[in-house]
Chains A and B, each alone.
Chain A
Amino acid sequence: DVKVTQSSRYLVKRTGEKVFLECVQDMDHENMFWYRQDPGLGLRLIYFSYDVKMKEKGDIPEGYSVSREKKERFSLILESASTNQTSMYLCASSHTGGVVYGYTFGSGTRLTVV
């Protein structure tokens, strides 16, 4: 069963901490995405990557960075966590030209910043 795996389901971090959210996919997908999901706002794109070592800003990149050193792994980094970054974070992947089948999502990481 192909999947996108997010390393943590729940995280609690303190304000100012550097936070790493990890995502791994086993489908050899070229594209990977990080979204945050907040009630009433839907899914908002933070960053995405079309290839190893490539990254592009999404709609809300401020306060975040990403790393993609290997094709299967895409990490989201909160440089200095703040309470307004408390949210559900979803990772997704897709084949290039494969958007016709949509994304495959992970189960999400619920991050609370206190």
Chain B
Amino acid sequence: GESVGLHLPTLSVQEGDNSIINCAYSNSASDYFIWYKQESGKGPQFIIDIRSNMDKRQGQRVTVLLNKTVKHLSLQIAATQPGDSAVYFCAETAGGVGNEKLTFGTGTRLTIIP
């Protein structure tokens, strides 16, 4: 069936280094993708999104890359800080306006090593 998943369940990165979190999806009709961050004891929070007509989008210290050919997206975090420690989820949806359901991946736990 359709699924959204992550390659690695855990990732440890030295403080100050860049982090890359990956996500694979299988629904070729997916046209909108979001990355969420979930800190301990909190609900997921929106980080950045990207539409299928783009292959790259940048925010503050974060970049999302989308490769539709291989159905893969990644989240890059520059100069990671202790506050970046969290679980990161990708989510996808297809069908445009009116289809409000998001399908979430299993999550990657990012740990920043001081």
Residues of A within 8 A of B (CB): 4, 31, 33, 35, 40-45, 48, 50, 58, 90, 92, 94, 96-97, 99-103, 105-108
Contact = CB atoms under 8 A, between A and B. Distances in A.
Contact of A100 (B42, B49, B89): B49
Given A35-B104, A105-B45, 5 more contacts: A41-B106, A42-B107, A96-B97, A99-B102, A101-B49
A107 B100 contact: no
B42 A107 contact: yes
A41 B43 CA distance: 16
B35 to A, nearest CB: 9
Q: List the 10 closest pairs (A to B, CB-CB), nearest first.
A: A105-B43, A102-B46, A42-B106, A43-B104, A97-B97, A42-B104, A102-B34, A31-B100, A105-B44, A99-B100
Given A99-B32, A105-B45, A107-B43, A43 B89 contact: yes
Contacts, number: 60
A101 B43 contact: no
B41 interface: yes
Contact of B44 (A48, A58, A90, A97): A90
A95 to B, nearest CB: 9
Interface in B23-67: 32, 34, 36, 41-46, 49
Interface in B66-95: 89, 91, 93
A94 B93 CA distance: 14
Contact of A40 (B93, B97, B106): B106
A102 B100 CA distance: 9
Nearest to B5: A42
10 contacts: A35-B104, A45-B101, A48-B101, A92-B43, A96-B97, A97-B98, A102-B91, A106-B43, A107-B41, A108-B42
A99 B95 CA distance: 11
